[in-house]
Amino acid sequence: MKKISAVFVVDLTKIEGEGDFQCPQCGAIISPEDETETTYIIQDVKMKANDQLEELRIKCISCESVIHLTGFTPL
Ligand SMILES: [Zn+2]
């Protein structure tokens, strides 16, 4: 049977701290600041018209879940 990976949505405005969160599936710590792609791979980036980040689609490397990150706030 083919493994179907789960899809989750994580709203960054509901996360305490510096934006790190646990993968809802396997609990791996995912840090949006981490660009080394050791814990996740960025699959897609959605920008708003004003060049602001709207949504990131990432994939957890450990469990292959797809996570949509929303709720980016302007700096
Ligand atoms: Zn995971």
What is the per-residue pLDDT for 1? Answer: 61
Q: Would residue 2 count as lying in a domain? A: no
Q: Would residue 48 count as lying in a domain? A: yes
Strands 66-70, 53-60: pairing kind: antiparallel
* Structural domain count of the chain: 1
pLDDT at 3 over 80: no
pLDDT at 4 over 90: no
Taking the centre of ligand 1 as the mean of its atom positions, its distance from the CA of residue 50, in whole angstroms, is 31
Give this prediction's pTM: 0.84
Range of the domain at 27: 7-70
pLDDT confidence band for 16 (50 / 70 / 90):
confident
Instruction: Determine contact, residues 73/64, Cβ cutoff 8 Å.
Output: no
Taking the centre of ligand 1 as the mean of its atom positions, its distance from the CA of residue 23, in whole angstroms, is 5
pLDDT at 39 over 70: yes
Q: Would residue 75 count as lying in a domain? A: no
pLDDT at 75 over 90: no
